[in-house]
Structure formats: structure tokens, C-alpha cells
């Protein structure tokens, strides 16, 4: 007998409110000391990033920026220099920092908190002079003694600056009666971290003599780009792509970095570094690890770093790499990409790496295929690991004379 019991329906629709979106914790008050304040990295990446944080109100209210550089200048001239660079980005789709207009209110909030110290990074007197603007920032902007020292300088100065900071007691973190730090001091070290395995180990040991590990932030600014940050969300939060992001659906991976910015005033830097050292061991391998890594157990720094390290562990020690050495010519010379334009600060007889290509294989479970040998009447089947190629390429260099 069919059940004729009436179904009870609510008289009105019920509206269930979702929980509010979790907001990030507010940043601690702090002062940021930028070594290399008038350099390319500061004007092209660091300051635009700070401007963006100011525009989105992600910077702490109690914040100050102190620029340190060998070049003569004042806080006003430094601000004008950075503002001119920001203005050059407006409407330039090819620029690393693409904006339609400058938010004058956001820039003013940042500019009002900027000061400048001129001095030689290798001289102890500079580090004593930095104390005054730090104390002023604490008094005027309430930074509470927290300081970030950002090393946007040539890698040969990393060890020197950290040692000088330590000897000047600028990295000391005072403790209260309970043994807790009254404030924090942190040092941000940009790439490249050493020029070889031995030099990287030596630099690491050198800075650890002055700092605790939790004070050190070894970073690659390439990872701050939106496209790079989206890789992990694209992979691990995407039900369409994650199931097929493996050896069964992907034949090989090619990562290409096509430059849009020339050497400009970085001639001396590129003469010693070239495209290979500048791009492949840091930017390109960082991208490779994010593309090839397996899902982490969590999204904290340690879990992600562990999975990235597994990618490199699964790669052979010898990696096939090609690089092109190009002679330098004057800007008026015509020709193809067989030569590079001589830049200010470069020796005329110098040779510099204009492009580089590397190919590596990875034998992890995600990227290794099994091929079966043998058949009917033959020997027992054997499984062999066929490692998938992962290629990184630095191409389309604008440094070439055309």
C-alpha cells in the first residue's frame, strides 16, 4: 500500500548565511631598510610591490622605509627617482609592473614614511648611522623596534652586510624577563645565493654565525609574480587538471622565459653573470619545482619546501645545458643575435651569456613512465622507468644587437 503521508514543506525558503571570508592577520609594525636603494631591483620590483601593498592597504599603519645606498642623495631625490619609475610603468603592458594609473593617495602614504642614508656597505660607520633613522622611525611611526633588512644588492656583498649588521648589534633581538623577544629583526637575501655549491655553503655558514635561522629569508622575487603564484592553485585546487597532471597525460614540459627588458644600466652585473646564472639556477628551477612537485601535506613553508626538494632529488646530478656566449658590439652595429649591445660599465672585449637552455629528467612517481618489454613466448616482462623530460629555456633575449 503506497505511503500517502504528506511531505511537510517549510512555509518559506530558508536562507543560510555562509561564514565570512577569513581575513589575513594584520602585519606587525616594522621598518624596512633597503640596501641598494637606488638599484634596479628596488626601483623595478621592491618599491612597486610596496606601493601595491599600500594601495590595497595591506601595509601596516605603523611602517617606515629607509633606503641605503652608496650614491649621493636625499630622501626627496630618492622619492622622485622611484616615482618617475612608477610613472614609466603606466600604460606599458610589457612592463613587469603593469598599471593604468598611479594612486596618488597610496603613493603619498608610502612616500611620507621614506628616508635615505648614504654610505659604503663595507664601512662600519654606515651601520652606526643607520641607528638614527631606525630610532626616528620607531618614535614617529611606532615601528616598535621590528626591522626588515632587505639586501637588494650584488651577491658579493651579502656576507659583508650581514657581518656588519651583526657586529653593529642591529640584528640583536632583545628579550624580556620571560625570555621572549621584545621585537624581531629579519634579513632578506635575494638571489643568487652563491655562485657554486661550495660558495653557497660558505655564504650560508657565514650568515649563520651572525643570525638565527628563523631570522633569515632566502628569497627569489620571481615567485612573487601573479602567474607563478597561481601555479599551485591551478594545480592543487583544480579538480579538472590535477587528476591529469602526471606522466599519463603529459608528454613533456617546456618552460620558456622570454625577456622584455634589456640590460640597461646593469652592464657590469651582466658581464659577470650572464643569462645562465641570472635565470636558470633560481628563477627557472623554482618554476620547474612548482610544476613537477607532488601535492604537499600542507601549505606551510616546510611542507612545500620538502616537496620541491623531492623534485631535485629525483633529477640526475648531470643536467644537459646549452648556453650561447655572445661578443659585445656597439649599439650602432647592425646584425643578428650573434652579438650583444655594449652597455655602460662593460668591457669592450667581454663575452656574456645571451641565452640558455637546460633539459632535465625526473624519476618521481608523477613523471616516470613504465615501458613493458617482451611478449608471447619471450622472456618474462620487465618494467623500466622512462623519465619524462622537463626543459627550461631562457630565450628571446632583448640584449641582442639587431
Q: Residue 82: CB partners within 8 Å, gap ≥ 6?
A: 42, 43, 47
Whether 96 and 45 have beta carbons less than 8 Å apart is answered as: yes
Q: Residue 120: CB partners within 8 Å, gap ≥ 6?
A: 70, 126
Backbone CA torsion sign across 190, 191, 197, 199: negative
Of residues 141, 221, 283, 394, which has the active-site annotation? Answer: 283
Whether 27 and 60 have beta carbons less than 8 Å apart is answered as: yes
List the one residue out of 298, 188, 285, 278 whose CA is nearest residue 232: 298
Distance of alpha carbon 243 from alpha carbon 384, whole angstroms: 23
Q: Peptide bond before 66: cis, by omega within 30 degrees of 0?
A: no
Helix orientation angle between 158-167 and 197-208, rounded to the nearest 10 degrees: 10
Whether 305 and 287 have beta carbons less than 8 Å apart is answered as: no
Helix orientation angle between 285-292 and 226-236, rounded to the nearest 10 degrees: 20
The verdict on whether 252 is a catalytic residue reads no
Q: Concatenated DSSP letters for 79-143?
A: HHHHHHHHHHHBT-TTSSS-BSS--HHHHHHHHTTEEEEE--TT-HHHHHHHHHHHHHHHHHH--
What order of strands is seen across the sheet that includes strand 216-218? Answer: 114-118, 63-69, 30-35, 147-151, 185-189, 216-218
Residues assigned a catalytic role: 283
Amino acid at each position: 500500500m503506497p505511503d500517502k503521508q504528506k511531505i511537510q514543506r517549510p512555509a518559506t525558503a530558508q536562507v543560510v548565511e555562509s561564514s565570512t571570508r577569513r581575513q589575513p592577520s594584520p602585519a606587525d609594525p616594522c621598518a624596512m631598510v633597503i640596501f641598494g636603494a637606488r638599484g634596479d631591483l628596488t626601483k623595478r620590483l621592491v618599491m612597486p610591490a610596496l606601493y601595491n601593498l599600500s594601495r590595497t592597504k595591506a601595509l601596516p599603519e605603523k611602517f617606515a622605509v629607509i633606503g641605503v645606498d652608496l650614491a649621493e642623495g636625499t630622501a626627496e631625490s630618492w622619492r622622485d627617482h622611484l616615482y618617475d619609475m612608477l610613472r614609466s610603468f603606466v600604460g606599458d603592458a610589457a612592463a613587469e609592473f603593469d598599471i593604468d594609473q598611479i594612486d596618488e593617495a597610496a603613493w603619498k602614504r608610502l612616500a611620507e614614511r621614506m628616508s635615505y642614508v648614504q654610505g659604503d656597505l663595507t664601512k662600519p660607520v654606515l651601520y652606526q648611522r643607520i641607528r638614527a633613522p631606525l630610532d626616528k622611525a620607531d618614535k614617529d611611526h611606532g615601528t616598535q623596534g621590528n626591522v626588515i633588512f632587505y639586501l637588494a644588492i650584488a651577491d658579493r656583498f651579502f656576507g659583508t652586510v650581514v657581518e656588519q649588521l651583526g657586529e653593529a648589534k642591529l640584528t640583536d633581538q632583545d628579550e624580556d624577563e620571560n625570555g621572549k623577544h621584545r621585537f624581531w629583526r629579519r634579513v632578506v637575501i635575494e638571489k643568487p645565493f652563491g655562485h657554486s655549491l661550495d660558495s653557497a655553503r660558505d655564504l650560508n655558514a657565514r650568515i649563520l654565525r651572525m643570525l638565527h635561522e628563523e631570522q633569515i629569508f632566502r628569497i627569489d622575487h620571481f615567485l612573487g609574480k601573479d602567474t607563478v603564484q597561481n601555479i599551485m592553485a591551478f594545480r592543487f585546487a583544480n579538480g579538472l587538471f590535477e587528476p591529469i597532471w602526471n606522466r599519463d597525460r603529459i608528454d613533456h614540459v617546456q618552460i620558456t622565459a622570454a625577456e622584455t627588458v634589456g640590460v640597461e644600466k646593469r652592464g657590469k652585473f651582466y658581464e659577470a653573470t650572464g643569462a645562465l646564472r641570472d635565470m636558470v639556477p633560481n628563477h627557472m628551477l623554482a618554476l620547474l619545482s612548482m610544476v613537477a612537485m607532488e601535492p604537499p601535506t600542507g601549505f606551510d613553508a616546510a611542507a612545500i619546501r620538502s616537496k620541491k626538494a623531492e623534485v631535485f632529488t629525483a633529477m640526475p646530478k648531470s643536467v644537459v645545458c646549452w648556453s650561447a656566449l655572445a661578443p659585445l658590439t656597439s649599439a650602432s652595429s647592425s646584425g643578428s643575435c650573434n652579438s650583444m649591445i655594449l652597455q655602460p660599465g662593460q668591457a669592450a672585449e667581454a663575452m656574456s651569456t645571451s641565452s640558455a637552455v637546460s633539459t632535465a629528467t625526473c624519476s618521481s612517481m608523477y613523471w616516470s613512465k613504465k615501458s613493458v618489454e617482451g611478449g608471447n613466448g619471450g622472456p618474462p616482462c620487465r618494467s623500466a622507468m622512462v623519465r619524462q623530460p622537463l626543459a627550461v629555456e631562457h630565450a628571446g633575449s632583448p640584449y641582442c644587437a639587431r
